[in-house]
Amino acid sequence: MRKIRRFHHLIYNISFPVLNVSLVNIDKIVANDYNPNKVAPPELELLKISIVEDGFTQPIVCYYDTEKDEYKIVDGYHRYFVSKNILHLKEIPITIINKPLVNRMASTVRHNRARGTHSIDGMTNLIESLINLGWKDSEIASNLGMDHEEVIRLKQSTFLKDIFMHHKFSKCWKEFEDNYYPKE
């Protein structure tokens, strides 16, 4: 593994701390006091489902404070929170970056802001695919962290689009003008 890290660093001039993951006692991990990211309860529930269903696919990014002998979270606070307070895990995977506080603060924001958002069209297409694969509304809602009404709204936009896909629309404004504003 060490050879792989050196190889990648030499070729790309980018470090790969993700290749150096350790299981650490969860009681030695602490939150930072500057993370502006907040997650609502439905998203925390979805994160719990994700960890239970898919496993721990992303380590918590930490800075090791040698004076306090603790790992300060740079990214992954909500995975840590779910692991500790909901799943009651004793150890979780972490990776360490060794950067000054100002760089860790910037890194926290970059990690959070880089995750992006889900477009309506993208979610609509995803819902349509899941329906075509045989999933029920309840399965979609529970597995994607949505409420039933949200699934229905996305389904409606999908199927309305399909219903009118080949419909030839009239130029109603032209007909309206001809009927109500005849040319003299």
CATH number of the domain encompassing residue 106? 3.90.1530.10
Q: How many domains does the chain have?
A: 2
Order across the sheet with 91-96: list the strands. 22-25, 91-96, 60-65, 70-75, 29-30
Work out the end-to-end distance of the chain between its first and last CA atoms, rounded to an integer number of angstroms. Answer: 85
Q: Please tell me the distance from the alpha carbon of residue 35 to that of residue 52, in angstroms, as a whole number.
A: 25
pTM of the complete model: 0.70
Burial class (CB in 10 A: 0-12, 13-18, 19+), 76: buried
Same domain, 133 and 42: no
Same domain, 52 and 93: yes
Buried b (16+ CB within 10 A) or exposed e, 102-114: eebbebbeeeeee
pLDDT of residue 140: 83
DSSP run (H or E) holding 32? none
Same domain, 21 and 83: yes
Same domain, 92 and 27: yes
pLDDT of residue 62: 97
Same domain, 89 and 135: no
Contact 44, 82 (CB under 8 A): yes
How many CA atoms within 13 Å lie on the side-chain side of 79? 21
Tokens matching residue 13: 């001039």
Select from 106, 102, 108, 105 the least CA-distant residue to 80: 108
Same domain, 166 and 94: no
Same domain, 11 and 30: yes
Q: Which of 73, 89, 113 is the last residue of a domain?
A: 113
pLDDT of residue 166: 57
For residue 105, the Cα-to-chain-centroid distance in whole angstroms is 20
pLDDT of residue 10: 63
**Digits of tens for pLDDT over the chain (184 positions)?**
556 555 655 677 788 888 899 999 999 999 998 777 788 888 899 999 999 999 999 999 999 999 999 999 999 999 999 999 999 999 999 999 999 888 888 888 787 776 666 577 777 887 888 888 888 888 888 777 778 888 888 888 766 666 555 556 666 667 767 777 777 6
Same domain, 81 and 16: yes
pLDDT of residue 163: 52
Contact 63, 130 (CB under 8 A): no
Q: Which domain holds residue 71?
A: 2-113
Sign of CA dihedral 78, 80, 84, 89: positive
Same domain, 129 and 109: no
Burial class (CB in 10 A: 0-12, 13-18, 19+), 1: exposed
The one-character DSSP state at 30 is E
Same domain, 44 and 96: yes
pLDDT of residue 130: 84
Tokens matching residue 158: 């999908």
Same domain, 128 and 106: no
pLDDT of residue 184: 64
Same domain, 70 and 8: yes
